[in-house]
Amino acid sequence: TRYGRASALLVVDLDRFKLINDAMGFKAGDELLMRVSERLQAAIRESDAIGRRGEDEFLILLSELYTGEENVSEAKKREIIEQNIAIVVRRVTEGLARPFTIQGQKFYIRASIGVSVCPNDAESAQQMLEHADSAMYHAKENGRGRCVFYNSDLHRLQERRLTLDSQLRVAMEKNEFELHYQPIVEVAKGRAAMVGVEALLRWNHRIEGTLYPEYFLPAAEESGLIVHLGKWVCQQACWQLSKWIQQGLRIFVSVNVSFRQMLQADLAEMILNSVDEFGLQPGLVFVELSEGSNVEEVDLIERVVASLGRAGIRVAIDDFGVGYSSLSRIDLKHIQFLKVDPSLVNGCQTDRAKANICEAAVRLAQSLELRPLAEGVETLAQAKFLTKIGCQFLQGYHIQAPADAQLITNMLNEKRAW
């Protein structure tokens, strides 16, 4: 039969372990790996085997996944095999979900898991490993903390990822990136005027044309290129802001910072150096941080906000309303804006639940003496509703799509109002 006494290989990659290792040092990293290994060992069966590969990956070989009747259909056998694999995967993820306490600090670890089944997915040990790798990378690219079973489409996706990594490095060398800016307006007495812009990265790909961040930033984050790319974004945004100020056009600029950038100990110093290089006031440059999707990220945001605040740099909390709320943990005096997530703004004028959530977010921001800013404003009806509930700062395609610096300059010179 195709399956016989089937086996499976699990590649377990610890999400963002390298970042924790860089931030805390090798000793803490080694202790964390030892604790992870103990929990993985406790999650597998006696017939299974575990090993470590590289810095942050573990291999788990599951054997004897099907030992039932031979007259069962191949589809039914596959179903039983996948159920047995799922039991082990669940034990692994549950074991890793509990916090690890290392050197007095709590760490939360998630893993991306790729699975290859033999003999259905592979005919040799090497092929089994390659296919489990492909599945693991697909798990990482689709949100991390997931388990993906190999299928034939994944091999092409892995080849594309490797090509993208190479192209990103070439793009940085050849200066193929540029910034576009999306206006942020303040509504007062029925009129809206531009008070700031959000810097948004674009890649002028020599073959594909203009590429947006969702296409390439996950690869840049994974490879570490995001640190160099993020520094370029900050320098370029500060340079452009200085040009506007020299022309008497006083606005602020906000730049986005990723999880990997937040782990850089010199993040605040890097931003402040760019601010000083172009003679700017720190209060005119905002850093946008996502609200955080788990406790680990909230811990990090808390430290980063404090570090930026000491440097005089203000913060905007992005994607507010959809993350793991971090406001109770952060020193709010360093926060300027709460950006209401576009998923809540979309339909807020017709969906009562979204309307109530938007209004609650605006009221919360005001009660904390923060400025509510609605992202993703697509229609006049949304803009009217948001201003009616007291959200005086708006951003979205109804106001203006992201545009190059020259168009923003023209709009500022024209003193365009909405």
CATH number of the domain encompassing residue 226: 3.20.20.450
State yes or no: pLDDT of 115 exceeds 70: yes
Tell whether 382 and 277 lie within a shared domain. Answer: yes
Tell whether 144 and 186 lie within a shared domain. Answer: no
Give the per-residue pLDDT at 328: 66
pLDDT band at 294 (very low <50, low <70, confident <90, very high): low
Number of domains in the chain: 2
Choose the most confident range, by mean pLDDT, from 11-15, 19-23, 242-246, 348-352.
242-246
For 335, the 3-state DSSP assignment is strand
Give the per-residue pLDDT at 196: 97
Please state, in angstroms and rounded to a whole number, the distance separating the CA atoms of residues 80 and 78.
5
In a domain, 404, yes or no: yes
Tell whether 146 and 169 lie within a shared domain. Answer: no
Tell whether 184 and 231 lie within a shared domain. Answer: yes
In a domain, 271, yes or no: yes
Pick the range with the lowest mean pLDDT from 51-60, 117-126, 263-272, 376-385. Answer: 117-126
What CATH number has the domain bearing residue 147? 3.30.70.270
Tell whether 350 and 251 lie within a shared domain. Answer: yes
Tell whether 197 and 344 lie within a shared domain. Answer: yes
Please state, in angstroms and rounded to a whole number, the distance separating the CA atoms of residues 226 and 228.
6
pLDDT in tens, 186-236: 998 778 899 999 999 999 998 889 999 988 988 888 788 999 999 999 999
Averaged pLDDT for residues 249-270: 91
pLDDT band at 300 (very low <50, low <70, confident <90, very high): confident
Pick the range with the lowest mean pLDDT from 314-323, 343-352, 384-393. Answer: 314-323
Cβ of 313: how many Cβ atoms within 10 Å?
21
Under 8 Å between Cβ of 183 and 404: no
Give 280 or 157, the one with higher predicted confidence.
Answer: 280
Tell whether 58 and 176 lie within a shared domain. Answer: no
Residues of the domain holding 141: 7-151
Averaged pLDDT for residues 132-159: 81
Q: Could you say which DSSP state residue 403 is in?
A: B
In a domain, 133, yes or no: yes
Tell whether 346 and 221 lie within a shared domain. Answer: yes
In a domain, 87, yes or no: yes
How many CA atoms does the CB half-sphere of 352 hold within 13 Å? 0
Provide the whole-model pTM: 0.71
Tell whether 250 and 329 lie within a shared domain. Answer: yes
Tell whether 104 and 226 lie within a shared domain. Answer: no
In a domain, 158, yes or no: no
